[in-house]
Amino acid sequence: MDNNNQNLNSSRVYNDITEDGDYFTQKQYMMIAISFLITHVFFEGFYIWLSCTPMIYLNIVSMLVYVVSIFIIRSGNTLRSVWFMALEVYFHIILATVFVGIKSGFQLWLFGTFASIFLPYFMPYMSSKQRRQIGNFSIIVVLTFLMLHVCADLKMFPTTYNPDERLARVLYCINALIGFGAITLYTSVYNQSMAHKNEELRRLADYDFLTEIYNRQRVQRILDKELQRKNETDENDLFVAILDVDFFKNINDTYGHIAGDNVLKQMAGIFKKNSSKGFIYGRWGGEEFLLIAPEDISYEEFGSLLEDIRSQVEETSFHEDGRDLKITVSIGAAAYRDGMTAEELVNLADERLYIAKEGGRNKVVVNS
């Protein structure tokens, strides 16, 4: 493959990863839009009670914005709806502060707005264009907060619809609670989403996509830790085994690769059924699996465990497209000896796997 093709493929993978640059789901955005719409319905009643005519009409526009946002989210264009809603909140804050007064505290919503806008800035897959947009808007929000206070101090705002001092203090406290609540809600949901996404990434890093058991990298790290434990404490013995599906290439050639994949999945199912016995297992590569013995058994007992697994595989009917396939496995095991590296331990198990293959397959070899 030439470099141009490699770059093209990398671009495709990258675009797939950075599809929307956010960890919020469509459902969560829908909940935000609906909650904002309900909030503005209450504000409409408040503005009518206050007889603040400009905000009565402006708030109707705000409600329409959220109705449109709901339809945009339903269409799948969540990123557009985010900016649509953010701009509505921004301009509503400015106009409410201008007409209802700085003492009513509507400008405090800018803190929640800043948090909701700026948090995604640190997303690992955020594009440079998105970062610039977020950075610029965040600066504008901060400057707006300062300018609103400057303009209020200079008495540049009309006072026609300003509530009395007592009501203004109540509104200030309510808007402060809304601001803090927005920050708390957004950061909480965002952190939960981040944690969920990190768990997904961890699973992708540690588990084999096909069989849904540990992949080679994860099993290798576990083996390295077990080896370190053995060298540092000299407690318990360390045994490993490599299991290989016999005549796996013939299965692929005869029945197709989907059949081969299904065999590997069913093999993983057999391991899972025996997981209560305490051994660790993972896909080592192709049709090979690495097994690490429980800490509290002898090498002889480990051999019996492997023989039991081999027997279970032999007795299992692997169903594929209406056919029952009879599958067998060969297993090679090895016990850790002082001074061994992880690679040497696995290689010894692999040598015994080769002996099992050469000896007719469907065998467990624990000694050479």
- Cα dihedral value 160, 164, 167, 170, nearest 10: 100
Q: What is the pLDDT of residue 124?
A: 67
**Residue 126 within any structural domain of the chain:** yes
Do 248 and 144 lie in a common domain?
A: no
Q: What pLDDT, on the 0 to 100 scale, is given for residue 6?
A: 40
The tokens describing 358, both together, are: 């050469």
Looking up tokens 């909140």 gives 89
Residues 178, 248 within the same domain:
no
Q: Does 211 reside within a domain?
A: no
Mean pLDDT of 72-99: 91
Determine, yes or no, domain membership for 242.
yes
Judge if 240 and 342 occupy the same domain: yes
Helix residue ranges, H only, 256-326? 257-273, 299-315
Using an 8 Å Cβ cutoff, are 37 and 70 in contact?
yes
Helix (H, G, I), strand (E, B) or coil at 270: helix
Which single residue is written with the structure tokens 């029945």? Answer: 255
- Global pTM reads 0.62
Q: For residue 301, is it within any domain?
A: yes
52 and 127 share a domain? yes
60 vs 41: CA distance, rounded Å:
9
Q: What is the pLDDT of residue 12?
A: 37
What is the total count of domains within the chain? 2
pLDDT tens for 7-37 read 434 343 333 333 444 556 788 889 889 999 9
Asked whether residue 172 falls in the same domain as residue 253, the answer is no
**What are the residue ranges of helices labelled H in the chain?**
3-17, 26-50, 53-74, 78-100, 109-118, 128-153, 165-206, 216-233, 248-255, 257-273, 299-315, 342-358
- Using alpha carbons, select from 110, 92, 109 the residue that is nearest to residue 171: 109
Residues 174 and 264 grouped into a single domain:
no
What would the two tokens of residue 51 be?
């007889």
CB 331 within 8 A of CB 243: yes
- Clarify whether residues 149 and 167 are in a common domain: yes
Do 194 and 231 sit in the same domain of this protein?
no
Q: Can you give the CATH number for the domain in which 324 is found?
A: 3.30.70.270
Give the distance from CA 57 to its chain's centroid: 42
Instruction: Give the largest Cα separation in the chain, rounded.
Output: 97
pLDDT of 286: 93
Identify which has the larger pLDDT, 207 or 198.
207
Q: Is residue 26 domain-shared with residue 145, that is, in the same domain?
A: yes
Neighbours of 16 (CB within 10 A): 8
pLDDT of residue 20: 47
Q: Return the closest-CA partner of residue 242 out of 309, 290, 303, 294.
A: 290
Q: Verify that 7 and 140 share a domain, yes or no.
A: yes
Cα–Cα distances (Å) from 300 to 16, 90, 279, 305, in that order, read: 49, 71, 14, 9
More confident residue, 200 or 45: 45
Rounded CA gap, 166 and 279, in Å? 70
CB 168 within 8 A of CB 162: yes
Q: What is the pLDDT of residues 214-267, one digit of tens each?
A: 999 999 999 999 999 888 887 778 999 999 999 999 999 988 999 999 999 999
> Residue 117 pLDDT > 60, yes or no?
yes
Can you give the residue range of the structural domain that contains 258?
216-365
> Two tokens at 117?
């806008």
Which residues, other chains included, contact 181 with Cβ-Cβ below 8 Å and sequence gap of 6+? 112
Same domain? For 227 and 149 the reply is: no
How confident is the model over 347-366, as a mean pLDDT? 96
> What angle, 0 to 180 degrees and rounded to 10, lies between the N-to-C axes of helices 216-233 and 165-206?
80
Sort strands 364-365 and 329-335 into parallel, antiparallel or unpaired: parallel
Both 171 and 303 in one domain: the answer is no
pLDDT tens, 124-146? 677 788 888 889 999 999 999 99
The three-state secondary structure class of 325 is strand
The 10s digit of each residue's pLDDT in 29-81 is 898 899 999 999 999 999 999 999 999 999 999 999 999 999 999 998 887 88
Give the mean model confidence (pLDDT) for residues 356-361.
95
Give the distance from CA 160 to its chain's centroid: 51
| Rounded distance between C-alpha atoms, residue 365 and residue 329, angstroms | 12
